[in-house]
Every structure is written in C-alpha cells, then in structure tokens.
Amino acid sequence: MGSGSWHMERRDSFKNEPVKDVEHVLENGSLSIIVLGASGDLAKKKTFPALFNLFQQGFLQPNEVHIFGYARTKISDDELRNRIRGYLVRDKGASPKDLEDVTKFLQLIKYVSGSYDTEEGFRLLDKEISETEVSRNGVDGLSRRLFYLALPPSVYPSVCRMIRHCCMNKTDLGGWTRIVVEKPFGKDLQSAEQLSTQIGELFEESQIYRIDHYLGKELVQNLLVLRFANRFFLPLWNRDNIENVQIVFREDFGTEGRGGYFDEYGIIRDIIQNHLLQVLCLVAMEKPISLKPEHIRDEKVKVLQSVLPIEDDEVVLGQYDGYRDDPTVPDHSNTPTFSTVVLRIHNERWEGVPFILKAGKALNSRKAEIRVQFKDVPGDIFKCKKQGRNEFVIRLQPSEAMYMKLTVKQPGLEMSTVQSELDLSYGQRYQGVTIPEAYERLILDTIRGDQQHFVRRDELKAAWEIFTPLLHRIDNGDLKPLPYKPGSRGPAEADALLEKAGYVQTHGYIWIPPTL
C-alpha cells in the first residue's frame, strides 16, 4: 500500500458468549403478554413496536405467544391492529419481508375492553388468556403471564388488585405472573412508598419490574463493562483524578401535546430523579460482587444513600417562554422545564466531586451524555492547561459514541500541543449492527426473569429521598424557575453554576469526523 492512502479493514469482533450470572432457564409453553392501556401513546409508540422487534428476531415464537391489548376504549381487534400497524417498522422504511412480518405479528394480537377497577373486564381477559393457554399447551404447557402497565400510575393499585384477583397464571400449568410498571412511580417519597406498599401487598418483589428505559440504552448497559473490565479506568475513577461529572439530557422540543401530564411532574420528576439518577448510580457505584441483579442493585442503593441533601444554591430551574401557552398548563405554573442540580456523594471515592445533573426541554440540541472531566495535570511543562482538560464523554444518544478528549503534539515540526480525541463512534466501528431499542431489551429481560436492569423498591425509595425536599420547595413556590428562550441553552445561570462547581469548558476544540 502506497504512503498516503488508507486501507479500511473490517474486522469481526470475537464472538464471546454472553456474560451472565443469571442463568436463563429455557422455558417453553404459552406466553401471554398483556398490554394494559393498549389504546394509549406509550403502548402504540414503544410497547408494541418493541414486541414486534422481538417477534422479528425470533424471541417471541408464534406457536407460544399471544398478545392481548386491554383498555377502556371500545374497539375491535382489527381496530387496535390498525392503530398500531404504522408504528411497528423502524424509520428505515418497510421491506416486503417486514410487511409480511407485520401481518403475522398483528394476528397474534387480541383486544379486550374493560374498566380498570371492576372485575368484569378482567374476568373476561382471564377467560381469553386461559383459552389460548389450554389450546396451545394441552395439559403440559406453562402459563406465563406478563402484564405491562402502560397506564397512569393513579390506576396501578386497582389494576394490580384486579390482576391478583382475576388473572393470575394457572398454577396447575406452572409458569409465572409478572407485572411491568412504568414511571412516574409516585410523585415524592411518601406517594412512592404508598404505591410500593399497595403493590407489594399483592405481588412479591421478584414479580415487579419497575422499568426505567434509560437502563435499556446500549451505552448505559455498557457502563459496568467499561468501568470494571478495563484496567486503565480502575485507578482513575475517583476523586484523586476526576474533577467533576456531568450527566446531561437535552431535548430540542417542548412538552408538545403533553403539557397537562408534564405540568404535574416537571423536569426533575420526568427525567432527573429517574433516568439521570440511574445513570449516576452506574457511573459512581462500587464494583458489585457479581453480575447477579441483587448484587448490582445493592451497590446502586449504597451510592444513592451516600448522596448529601441538595443545597438550594446548587440548583438552577428554568421554564421556557411559551410553555404556559399550552391550554392544558395553568397560567401561573411554577413547573420547571429545565434544571441543573449538583449532587454530592459522601464517600471515600467521590467526596468533593460534583455530579452535575442537567435536563431541559425546548433547548438548542437533542442529546444525552455523560461527561467525566479530569483534573489538570500537575506540573504542566507543556503549558497546555489553556487547551483544556482531559474529558471522557459517553454519548448515549443520538449516534452512540464514546470519546476521550486528550492533549497531543500538534503534528509538524514545532513542539506544540493540541486537543484531539480517541474516538469510538458506534456507527463507524459497528457497521451493520442494529442497536436494539431500550424497550426491546427490557421486555426481553422481563420474559427471561432478569431484574438486573429494573429498579428495586429500596432503590426507588432512596432516589425519592434525594429529591423530595427540593421538589416540595418547588411545589410550594419557594424556588422559582427562570425564563429561557426556546432553542437556547437554557438559563445563563445554569452555565454559571457549572463553572462554580468547577467545570472548565474547553475552547477551540474542533472535531473533524472521520470519513471512510
């Protein structure tokens, strides 16, 4: 190969066996997936498409699986199928094979209409499920029932009671009953605990899957591997080397169409208390004894319990101009659509390192990332401090990537330094690999009985303990959001807080995306 020309070589990764401390017992027999709230937005946009993807990849066998939609709306099987049909195939457009699969998948779906608080509908649902179990299994099969609550939390207790009384799996057939619950799981510590107690009286913790879809994202799932399977991170990942950590969520659209829901919750309950805090746990926790779900969740709880109370002067709240124009939002709403909150972890590894959690709607870009900023190099003989600190960035979305910003010699005759990067862009490195949707993986985990990526009750409690005092101060109007322009970076005070917390922005760094 002549000098100056590049040779692009595609290498196959070693095909390692999946690393699991949980044995997935291969189960055969009837599997009923019941989507409660089947007429709603979440079901249509997330749950059914995830089930379809699992079906296409062979994880849901047509001779075993039956899918039931349940909701109050009175529609026929075909009407439900027509509602969801258009959401099943990903953006890339449908191939003839996809369309054939869609037809086969939709045939697995039946719809049952009923209320959420009376037995009639649930008895009918049970009858429908039981008929498919018997017709598919004869006497030897299993009765596996997965109830997915794509519903507002206000109806969780009554729905769980109905499932418990009318729809449990048939013990003579064996199998299990599991329930999947979505966020928001409570509005504060007290309401979350109340909900946990109500559901806990009906189901064992091992039957309850509290979903946080950020735990299903590829690069979130990569965090433990990165941290604990790479020697060079082990000695660096602590207060001696890390100056600050940012966990950022930005959306470039507002609460469109969801103002009513959003106004009751706000950005801290919608994003920070759950998604960003879960990411924080995985960034900050100690190494678990093993990959067993309980070992991992034990470590997550410990780190949450080490978080100090939030100080008001380490919080910036914002609300974008025009948010209150939504007719479903009260004219004097105090709900933040943006927030930066600094959390401090009081333990040996992290004392003094700010964890800056930032989330906002209607901003200038859409991204979710973790940015670990390292301390300045002591005794800087190259005088390169001005060029910026080392940063390790894990971009969860869009375009999954991780890159390490580092200082190198500027190529050429002079001895000067420049900021560059070690770059692992997934689109480039894993060409042709489809990254599964978060919901797809998490639903598969629920079928397999793997709770590693689900939130345990004590974890949830610890998460609410961190944010409840701040949320109550906001709800009482003691803290007020600052206005910001839609399409901006949010309130300028948030960048000031970032700086106060010790973050040093790199100026002049330009990334030139590689071309193939």
Ligand X SMILES: O=C1O[C@H](COP(=O)(O)O)[C@@H](O)[C@H](O)[C@H]1O
User: For residue 131, with 0-12 CB atoms within 10 Å meaning exposed, 13-18 middle and 19 or more buried, which class applies?
Assistant: exposed
Rounded Cα–Cα distance for residues 399 and 289 (Å): 32
- Report the first-to-last Cα separation within the chain, whole angstroms: 17
Which CB sits closer to ligand X, 69 or 259? 259
CB of 240 to ligand NDP, least distance (A): 22
For residue 415, how many other CB atoms are within 10 A of its CB? Answer: 8
CB of 213 to ligand X, least distance (A): 6
Residues 462, 203: contact at Cβ < 8 Å?
no
Which CB sits closer to ligand X, 299 or 326? 326
Among ligand X, ligand NDP, none, partner that 107 touches (CB below 5 to 8 angstroms by kind): none
Size of the site for ligand NDP (CB under 6 A): 17
Rounded Cα–Cα distance for residues 149 and 34 (Å): 8
Residue that has been written with the tokens 């390292």 in this structure: 374
Told to check if 403 binds ligand NDP by CB under 6 A, we report yes
Q: Cα angle vertex 295, ends 150, 465, to 5°?
A: 60
Among ligand X, ligand NDP, none, partner that 410 touches (CB below 5 to 8 angstroms by kind): none
Which CB sits closer to ligand NDP, 374 or 509? 509
Q: Which of 401, 447, 466, 470 binds ligand NDP (CB under 6 A)?
A: 401
Among ligand X, ligand NDP, none, partner that 269 touches (CB below 5 to 8 angstroms by kind): none
Measured from each CB, the residue nearest to ligand NDP is: 511
- Map residue 240 onto helix, strand or coil: coil
Judged by CB under 6 A, the chain residues 404 through 433 that form the site for ligand NDP are 405, 421, 423, 425
CB of 275 to ligand X, least distance (A): 6
CA quadruple 380, 381, 385, 387: dihedral sign: negative
Residue that has been written with the tokens 């010699």 in this structure: 409
For residue 194, how many other CB atoms are within 10 A of its CB? Answer: 12
CB of 13 to ligand NDP, least distance (A): 19
Residue that has been written with the tokens 């610890």 in this structure: 462
Among ligand X, ligand NDP, none, partner that 344 touches (CB below 5 to 8 angstroms by kind): none
Q: Which of 30, 113, 169, 246 binds ligand NDP (CB under 6 A)?
A: 246
Of 102-110, 135-143, 478-486, 501-509, which segment contacts ligand NDP by CB under 6 A? 501-509
Rounded Cα–Cα distance for residues 183 and 455 (Å): 10
Contact letters (x/-) for ligand X, 234-253, by CB under 6 A?
Answer: -----------------x--
Catalytic, 332? Answer: no
Size of the site for ligand X (CB under 6 A): 4
Of 512, 236, 284, 499, the C-alpha closest to 390 is 236
Told to check if 101 binds ligand X by CB under 6 A, we report no
Contact letters (x/-) for ligand NDP, 343-372, by CB under 6 A?
Answer: ----------------------------x-
Told to check if 64 binds ligand X by CB under 6 A, we report no
Among ligand X, ligand NDP, none, partner that 270 touches (CB below 5 to 8 angstroms by kind): ligand X
Among ligand NDP, ligand X, none, partner that 28 touches (CB below 5 to 8 angstroms by kind): none
Q: Which of 126, 263, 270, 369 binds ligand X (CB under 6 A)?
A: 270
State phi, psi for 112 to the nearest 5 degrees.
Answer: -125, 130
Rounded Cα–Cα distance for residues 303 and 224 (Å): 15
Q: Which of 435, 495, 502, 504 binds ligand NDP (CB under 6 A)?
A: 495
Q: Identity (one letter) of the amino acid at 416? A: S
Report the side by side order of strands in the sheet with 208-210: 109-113, 65-71, 30-36, 143-149, 175-181, 208-210
Told to check if 368 binds ligand X by CB under 6 A, we report yes
Among ligand NDP, ligand X, none, partner that 393 touches (CB below 5 to 8 angstroms by kind): ligand NDP
Told to check if 437 binds ligand X by CB under 6 A, we report no
CB of 495 to ligand X, least distance (A): 22
Among ligand NDP, ligand X, none, partner that 505 touches (CB below 5 to 8 angstroms by kind): ligand NDP
What are the contacts of 379-388 at 24+ separation with CB within 8 A? Answer: 382/407, 382/417, 384/417, 387/417, 387/418, 387/419, 387/506, 387/508, 387/509, 388/419, 388/504, 388/505, 388/506, 388/507, 388/509
Any idea of the CA torsion for 436, 440, 445, 447, to the nearest 10 degrees? -140
Which CB sits closer to ligand NDP, 277 or 443? 277
Residues 512, 420: contact at Cβ < 8 Å?
no
Among ligand X, ligand NDP, none, partner that 506 touches (CB below 5 to 8 angstroms by kind): ligand NDP
- Check 24, 275, 332, 507 and give the catalytic one: 275
ω into residue 469 within 30 of 0, thus cis?
no
Measured from each CB, the residue nearest to ligand X is: 270
Residues 268, 336: contact at Cβ < 8 Å?
yes
Told to check if 393 binds ligand NDP by CB under 6 A, we report yes
Active site residues per annotation: 275
Residues that bind ligand X (CB under 6 A): 213, 251, 270, 368
Residues that bind ligand NDP (CB under 6 A): 246, 248, 371, 393, 399, 401, 403, 405, 421, 423, 425, 489, 495, 505-506, 509, 511
